[in-house]
Structure 1
Amino acid sequence: MIKIYHNPRCQKSRTALAYVEERDENIEVVEYLKNPPTAKELKEVLQLLKMKPMDIIRKKETLYIDSYKDKEFTDAQWISILAEHPVLIERPILINKNKAVIARDEATLKSF
C-alpha cells in the first residue's frame, strides 16, 4: 500500500497522486491539513525519509517566515511545531513499506 500525505490544493501533490493512482490501486490518501500527523507519526515519516525536521519544512511559508525563521529549536521541538502547524510540512510525501520520498518532481516520482 502506498500512503500519500496530500494537499489537494497543491499542483505537485495532485500530480503525485495521479501518478501513483495510475500504478497502484491500494492507496491511502491522507489530507494532512485536515488530518495532521501526530508527533509519533512525524518521527516515523522522518525515519523513512532519512531526514531531519528542518528538511521537510516549507521555508517559504508565511507562518515559518513570521514565526520560526532564524530561531533555534531541537528536533523534538520542530516535530511538535509541525504536528501543531501541518501547513509547514513539505508535500507530497509518499510512503511505500520502508521507503519514503518528498515527491516534488517527476524524477523523484519515477524513482519511487
Structure 2
Amino acid sequence: MSAVTIYHNPRCSTSRNALALLRERGIEPQVVEYLKTPPSRDELQRIAAATGEPLRALLRTKQPEYLEQGLDDPQLSDDQLLDAMLTTPVLINRPIVVSAKGARLGRPLERVLEVL
C-alpha cells in the first residue's frame, strides 16, 4: 500500500478513532500533529483539492475563533480562509487522511475508507 498521512489531533476522539481504524487495517500512517506542525499554504491547497470539496469544508466551524475571525462570511476568498487556517491551525478540521487515492476529512469516520 502507498503512503498514507493523517493530519491528527491526539486530543480529538474522532481523530484518535481514525488513527485506530487505519492501524486496524494494517496501515501505519505518517502522523502529522498539525497543531504542532501546521501544513503549509501549498499543502493545505493540495489537500483541499484532493478532497474534491471547497477549502471551506476543511474549516472547523465550531471553534470560537471561527466566529471571532468572521469566517462565517461567505464572501471571504480562499486566500483569506487559508490565512486564517495558517495563523490559527485549530481552525483546520480533523482528521484528514491523505493517500495516493485522494484526501478525506474523517467526518464521518467511514469517509477515510474511500481513500485507502
Fold-level similarity (TM above 0.5):
yes
TM-score, reference length from structure 1: 0.90
The equivalent of 2:14 in structure 1 is: 12
- Per the TM alignment, residue 26 of structure 1 is displaced from its structure 2 partner at its CA by 3.9
- Per the TM alignment, residue 105 of structure 1 is displaced from its structure 2 partner at its CA by 2.2
| Counterpart-to-counterpart distance in 1, 2:100 and 2:106 | 16
Structure 2: state its 5+ residue gaps. none
Q: Which amino acid aligns with 2:4?
A: I
| Counterpart-to-counterpart distance in 1, 2:89 and 2:30 | 18
RMSD: 1.5
- Per the TM alignment, residue 110 of structure 1 is displaced from its structure 2 partner at its CA by 3.7
Partner of 1:76: helix, strand, or coil?
helix
Paired residues, number: 112
The equivalent of 1:89 in structure 2 is: 92
Q: In the alignment, is residue 104 of structure 1 matched against residue 107 of structure 2?
A: yes
| Counterpart-to-counterpart distance in 1, 2:98 and 2:29 | 10
| Counterpart-to-counterpart distance in 2, 1:58 and 1:28 | 22
The equivalent of 1:79 in structure 2 is: 82
TM-score, reference length from structure 2: 0.87
Q: 1:69 to 1:47 in 2, by over 3 A?
A: closer
Given candidates 48, 62, 65, the residue that maps to 1:63 is 65
The equivalent of 2:47 in structure 1 is: 45
Range 18-27 or range 88-97, more displaced: 18-27
Aligned-pair identity in percent equals 35
